[in-house]
Amino acid sequence: MSLFLHLAWRNLWRNARRSSITLAAIAFAVLMVALQDGLQEGTYTANIKAAIRLSSGYLQIQHPAYHNKPALRHSIAYSDELRRKVDSVDAVVAYAPRIYADGLLSFGDQSMGALIVGVDVQREPLVSDYHKKIRDGRFPAEDKPFEIVVGQTLLQNLGAKIGDSLVVLAQGFDGYLGNLFFTIVGTTKTGSEDLDRMSVFMPLAGAQELLGMWGRCSVLAIELPRLNDIPETKRALTAALSENQLAVLAWDEVLASLKQLIEFDQISSEIQMLLLVLVVAFGILNTILMSISERYQEFGIMLSIGMSNSRLVAIIALEVVMLAILGIFIGDLLALGLNSYFSVNPIELGGEMMELYEEYGFLPMLKSSVEPSIFIKASVECLVFTLLAALFPLWKVYKLEPLKGIRYT
């Protein structure tokens, strides 16, 4: 066996230039696939984490009807029993109740629409990053239910500043309109245009007072250590809450459009990459075909002294596999280098690109990942295509007759 390996290896280098170019082609294909996948994986994960920490949380507990009809009517009781049951699930790191409602802000003769977000000032920082996005001022204090934080753009449009008081008007739980004064204590810049233009944060108690929702909240956001914990924890929570008729949703059910955007992007890139590898595979097909026909005389002689066609095919297949593995290895190495660089130093987008990304609610950066699955997938894909490309030439060798080989011109 080792003789054959030796033989195969030396055969590869009979034409060093040709083999090198083929190596380069395979390495290139692997590099492209791994690079693309790495950037996607890294960027998506970063975006998902950001969305989780800025919007949905890993999981959310909701009223079963809330997802389709997010009304205050479909809020849940923020009871001790609920808290106890959620605590009982191991993986849960933290949880925080939130109230979401639509409202109108009035300041002087300006009024603007807003998304009201009532948060538990103590618990919320464990579950989200809102408090980190405070640009000026501060997050509301726990004992001051009528303090409010206004999105940066919203504040500008209202013409207000920190320290001012404004009126928040909203339809409450019982259908009646509530309006209360709130004092602006801070402003946020979250990087998401939507949030900055439309949201205000107030302590849960303030929202409950405004909307007549004492003891209730719209959702309970749950924090977990890792994305991988989601399925298991979701199961555990659903089981624990089965009698309460509450729904447990993962982030991708809450943010269905983000998930689909990611899927759509993944699928279209996948197709593009497959076509790319196909292009390279054609080149390899030609190369193998031509190098085999150059050796027909040699093969003919080997066959005539008694080697079987299958053995011959095996030898050449071995050459192809060796070349492929070498090329894949080189490609993986290069990809590993680039991916690790970009996972630690993501490409930051600036200028209008940055604005564009933020407009869509994405982080303005491209980040890579060194998840092993990326390299494995790229390697396997290219190996498969290379072997497929070798099928026809190998078949020809399989069918070769000794004399035909010797007489080949």
Partner 1 sequence: MLLTLAWRNLWRNKRRSAIIIASVAVGVIALTLSDALSLGMMHQMLNNRIGAHVGHIQIHAPGFRANPSLTALLTDPDAIQTELASIPAIRQSSKRIVQFGLLSSSRSSAGVNIVGIEPERERRVSHIARSVVEGHYPDSSKGDILISRHLARKLEVELGDKVVAMASARDGTVGSEVFRVCGLFATLDAEFDKFHVYASLPTVGSMLGLTKEASQIVAIVDEVDSVGAYREAIQSQLGGVLDVASYRDLLPMLVFQLDSYEQLIWIFYLIVGLAMFFGIVNTMLMAVFERMHEFGVLMSLGMARSRMFALILLEAILLGLIGTLTGELLSWLVSIPWERYGLDLSVFSEALGSLGVGNKIYPFIAASTYLNSLIMVPAFAVLGALYPALKAIRLRPVEALRYV
Considering beta carbons, is residue 141 or 271 the nearer one to partner 1?
Answer: 271
- Is 278 a binding residue for partner 1 by CB under 8 A? The answer is yes
Residue 283: which residues within 8 A CB-CB, separation 6 or more? 25
- Find the binding residues for partner 1 in span 290-349 (CB under 8 A): 290-291, 294
User: Is 407 a binder of partner 1 (CB under 8 A)?
Assistant: no
Per CB under 8 A, the list member of 2, 16, 69, 245 interacting with partner 1 is 69
What are the two backbone dihedrals, phi and then psi, of residue 167, each rounded to the nearest 5 degrees? -105, 135
Query: How does DSSP classify residue 89?
Result: S
Is residue 394 part of the contact set for partner 1 (CB under 8 A)?
A: no
Q: Between residue 87 and residue 146, which ones bind partner 1 under the rule CB under 8 A?
A: 101-104, 106, 108-115
Binding mask 165-204 toward partner 1 (x if CB under 8 A, else -) reads ----xxx---x-x--------------------x------
Beta bridge partners of 79: none
Min CB(21)–partner 1 separation in Å: 5
Q: In sequence order, what DSSP letters do the residues of 22-58 get, joined into one string?
A: HHHHHHHHHHHHHHHHHHHHHHHHHHHHHHIIIII-S
- What is the chain's length? 409
Q: Which is nearer to partner 1, 180 or 224 (CB)?
A: 180
What are phi and psi for residue 203, nearest 5 degrees?
-65, 150
Nearer to partner 1, 152 or 157 (CB): 157
For 70, phi then psi, to 5°, come to -75, 70
How many whole angstroms from its chain centre is CA 171?
37
Q: Which residue in 122, 242, 260, 373 binds partner 1 (CB under 8 A)?
A: 260
Interface mask (CB under 8 A) for partner 1, residues 217-256, using x and -? Answer: ---------------------------------------x
Candidate list 257, 305, 306, 350; residue touching partner 1; CB under 8 A:
257
In terms of CB distance, is 110 or 310 closer to partner 1? Answer: 110
Contact status: 207 vs partner 1 (CB under 8 A): no
Provide the 3-class DSSP secondary structure of residue 10. Answer: helix
Find the binder of partner 1 among 285, 324, 363, 370 (CB under 8 A).
285
Least distance in Å: CB of 146 to partner 1? 20
SS3 136: strand
- Please report the DSSP string for 177-222 in residue order: EEEEEEEEEEEE--S-HHHHHHEEEEEHHHHHHHHT-TTEESEEEE
At residue 141's C-alpha, the angle toward residues 137 and 146, to 5°, is 95
**Binding status of residue 283 toward partner 1 by CB under 8 A:** yes
Nearest one of 251, 254, 250, 222 to 90, comparing CA atoms: 222
Residues with Cβ within 8 Å of 125's Cβ and at least 6 positions away in sequence, in order, are 131, 139
Minimum Å gap between C-beta 195 and partner 1 is 14
Binding residues for partner 1 (CB under 8 A) = 17-18, 21-22, 24-25, 28-29, 32, 68-73, 101-104, 106, 108-115, 156-157, 159, 169-171, 175, 177, 198, 256-261, 263-264, 268, 271-272, 275-276, 278-287, 289-291, 294, 352-353, 355-356, 359
